[in-house]
Amino acid sequence: MPNIEIHGFSEAIQKGAIIRRVIAECIPEIMDDVVITIVPSTVKDLHGNTKPFIRVLSPDHRDEVRVAMRINKELGLNVEWIKLGGFFEGKN
């Protein structure tokens, strides 16, 4: 289950909707498994420049290409990929 975190965007809700659309159009087979989390934050480098980014976390190495790189390529956003050691789904 890929978790997509949105960090530092003032229009984070709109970015989430755009990312959902890209996933629905390009990789619909994972649509039911994707979680999008909006992290209210300000992201700046040491010079004070805004550096918003998308973080994709998943235990499945295939998500690096099919999710993280796709978001980067399709939307031109900064994307950080983190491979999780595992994920244990609860009864939510």
Report pLDDT digits (tens) over 5-27.
999 988 888 988 998 888 899 88
The single-letter code of the amino acid at 31 is M
For residue 52, tell me if it sits in a domain: no
Average pLDDT, the chain: 89
Share of the chain above pLDDT 90, in %: 35
Query: What are the C-alpha distances in Å from 88 to residues 9, 58, 63, 74?
Result: 29, 12, 17, 30
Are 2 and 33 a contacting pair, CB within 8 Å?
yes
Q: What is the DSSP pairing of strand 35-39 with strand 53-58?
A: unpaired
| Predicted TM-score (pTM) of this structure | 0.82
For residue 53, tell me if it sits in a domain: no
Whole-number pLDDT of residue 91: 84
Domain enclosing residue 73, as ranges: 1-39+58-92
| Angstrom distance (rounded) from CA 64 to CA 3 | 12
For residue 50, tell me if it sits in a domain: no
Whole-number pLDDT of residue 87: 74
| Angstrom distance (rounded) from CA 28 to CA 77 | 20
For residue 44, tell me if it sits in a domain: no
Q: How many domains, the chain?
A: 1
Query: pLDDT digit string (tens) for 26-43?
Result: 888 888 889 999 988 889
For residue 73, tell me if it sits in a domain: yes
For residue 21, tell me if it sits in a domain: yes
